[in-house]
Structure formats: C-alpha cells, structure tokens
Amino acid sequence: MIRFNNDYNRSAHPAVLQALADTAADSFGGYGGDVWCEKAAAAIKSHLDRPDAAVHFLVGGTQTNFTAIAAALRPYQGAICAHTGHIHAHETGAVEHTGHKLLTVPGRDGKLTAAQVAELGEGYRTSPVREHITQPKLVYISLPTEYGTVYSLAELTALRQVCDKYGMYLFVDGARLGYGLAATDATLADLARLADMFYIGGTKCGALFGEALVISNPALQTDFRSYIKQNGAMLAKGWLLGLQFAALFENGLYFDICRRAVEQAQRLKAAFVARGVPLYLDSPTNQQFVLLTAEQLSALEGKYTFEPDHPSEDGRMCVRFCTSWATTDEEIDALLADIARL
C-alpha cells in the first residue's frame, strides 16, 4: 500500500536519525536546557532577523496550539479562526478546554481575511455590552491552511495591520510551515516580524516529532516555560527535540525536503488536471484536493491510501492526496500511471 493520506507516515529524515544515533551514548541536561536546544534555537534565529525572539521546543501541534493560546489570553478572551481551522475542526476542543472560546468565521478556501477580523474587532469595540461578550484577542491562522492554501506576504501584512488596530495577537500554526514557505512569498523573517507567535513544524516535515515555537512579542515571552510545564508540554529529554531541529536546519535541509514534497504534489495536480479530474481548489502546497467519481475511487483505493474529505454536490467525493518529505519518485510515478488510466 502506497500512502498519500498524510505527511507523517514515515519516521524521520535519515539526517535526523543519524544525529540521534551519533549522540545516543552522550548525556545532556533535561527539559530543554541543553546544548542541542541552544544550537537549534540559534539556527532558527539566523533566519529571523529577530535576535530578541524566544524559541521553545514542544512535542506536537495540538499541544503547541493550546499551550501558546492559553498563555496569551486572559480568561474572558477568545481566538478568531476560520471554521475549518485546525483548532476548531481537528483538536477535540483543546483550546476551549483551556477556557477560551473560539470565535469562528466562514473561511474562504480555509483562509481568514483581514476584513473578517476587522468586522469582529469593530463589533467588540463598539459594543455597549462588552463585559457580557467574549473579547476577540487572538487571530489564529495556519500556513498552509487545512486545504493547502497559503497566505501571501500582502495578506499577512493586512492581518497584522488589523491586529494592531484592535489590539489583537497574530498566531500562525506552522505544523506544515515548510510546505507553505515553498509556495508563498513570505519568509521566516517576515513571520517573525508580522506574527506575535508562530511555530515551525517538525512532525510533518522530517522530524520524528516536535515543533519549534517562536515568540516574537516580548510581552508573551514572560514565564512561558511555566506555561509549557503546567500544560504537560515540557519533555524531560528535551535535547531530542533540539537535536532534530539542529539537523533539519543544517545547510537548509528543512527547506529543501519540503520544497521537494511540494514539487511532487504539483506533479500529481498536473496529472489529475490532464486526465480531466476536477480540482476542489487550487492548492500550491503538498496537499491536493480532487473530486473523484465512485469508479475512480474504487480504481485507486486498492493500491493507495488517501483521505476522503467530503462529498460534493455532483455526487463525487472530495479526496485529499498528501505528499511529504519522504515521498519518492517511484511512488509518484506509480500514481501518475494509474491516474492516466482512470
């Protein structure tokens, strides 16, 4: 079975595994206070142009999302997100379990707009009963989104301007950030300048596990390690996280392997289009959504694993095909051949 159902179905890039093997006999301090976390943080900061940024390493995306959001908000404040946003649709109410309401708005291809955020911000600002309603304080977006779409630098800048106008934080979920950066004109330095917090995904981008959270806003840096510990997010063997990111950021490996995954996904998209299979939307990243008939689904599902998303109005099924840092040319070539026979 060839898997295209997600981008975390293999262990880790060989460089990560080699780094872990090379240091298996060494000992390090615990809880992220080690030389590898220091080296990884320095490597990440070299791309940010923000020497004052704080970098913290956590194990997984959901854990990072609810820990960061809970740390940023007061009890009466909530987070704005698209209705398809990961924190709303795929995390079992984790953020709301911390006591913070999610203020959802209809996403357009998974994205929020600055105008939508401004509408909520202005509504709260002008409300005569503000003490009776949740204050929108944090804007949550993901790059790329759940539908593989990305925010341009101009869109991120517009969101930042609205956040500044209404006193909100901007938080970017970067579980697939490497794939998103390969398809947008924004850079890590842009994110460090425009977002109060964002994270660099490792779990889905070549690591065994782990996310690197960057906190650019000094006001959110205070005592953040206490929030990590209190939320059960502090790994005792923290060097395992730092070591992986140090390996991934050596010589631009993180960016190279994610760019390769996006190139593979674009080959898939081109093949579906050439065969006349409709796209659900035009994704420039490693996630591709296509509309398949029952017969086409049957022809592919015996050999490939992919993820049904939702039925379409014409009776087809919207299906996600997801490439990863580990997708091989042989796997892509096999699927391309079978697409041509649909």
* CA separation for the pair 51, 87 (Å, rounded): 29
- pLDDT tens series, the chain, 342 aa: 999 999 999 999 999 999 999 999 999 999 999 999 999 999 999 999 999 999 999 999 999 999 999 999 999 999 999 999 999 999 999 999 999 999 999 999 999 999 999 999 999 999 999 999 999 999 999 999 999 999 999 999 999 999 999 999 999 999 999 999 999 999 999 999 999 999 999 999 999 999 999 999 999 999 999 999 999 999 999 999 999 999 999 999 999 999 999 999 999 999 999 999 999 999 999 999 999 999 999 999 989 999 988 898 888 999 999 999 999 999 999 999 999 999
Residue pLDDT, tens place only, 65-121: 999 999 999 999 999 999 999 999 999 999 999 999 999 999 999 999 999 999 999
The answer to whether the beta carbons of residues 319 and 309 sit under 8 Å apart is yes
Indicate the helix (H) or strand (E) that contains 38.
helix 35-45
| Length of the chain (residues) | 342
Tell me what pLDDT residue 302 has.
87
Tell me what pLDDT residue 197 has.
98
Q: Where are the domains of the chain?
A: 14-252, 253-340
318: its two tokens: 């919207």
CA dihedral 193, 195, 198, 200 (to 10 degrees): -40
The CATH number that domain 14-252 falls under is: 3.40.640.10
* CA separation for the pair 102, 160 (Å, rounded): 19
Location of structure tokens 């890590």: 188
Full-prediction pTM beyond 0.85?
Answer: yes
Tell me what pLDDT residue 176 has.
98
* CA separation for the pair 269, 281 (Å, rounded): 11
| Nearest C-alpha neighbor of 268 from the set 223, 212, 335 | 335
Strands, sheet with 77-82, edge to edge from the N-terminal-most edge strand: 54-58, 211-215, 197-201, 169-173, 135-142, 77-82, 102-105
CATH architecture assigned to 253-340: Alpha-Beta Complex (3.90)
Tell me what pLDDT residue 334 has.
97
DSSP string, 53-73: -EEEEES-HHHHHHHHHHHH-
Side-chain half-sphere CA neighbours of 269 within 13 A: 20
Tell me what pLDDT residue 223 has.
96
Tell me what pLDDT residue 313 has.
84
Tell me what pLDDT residue 309 has.
86
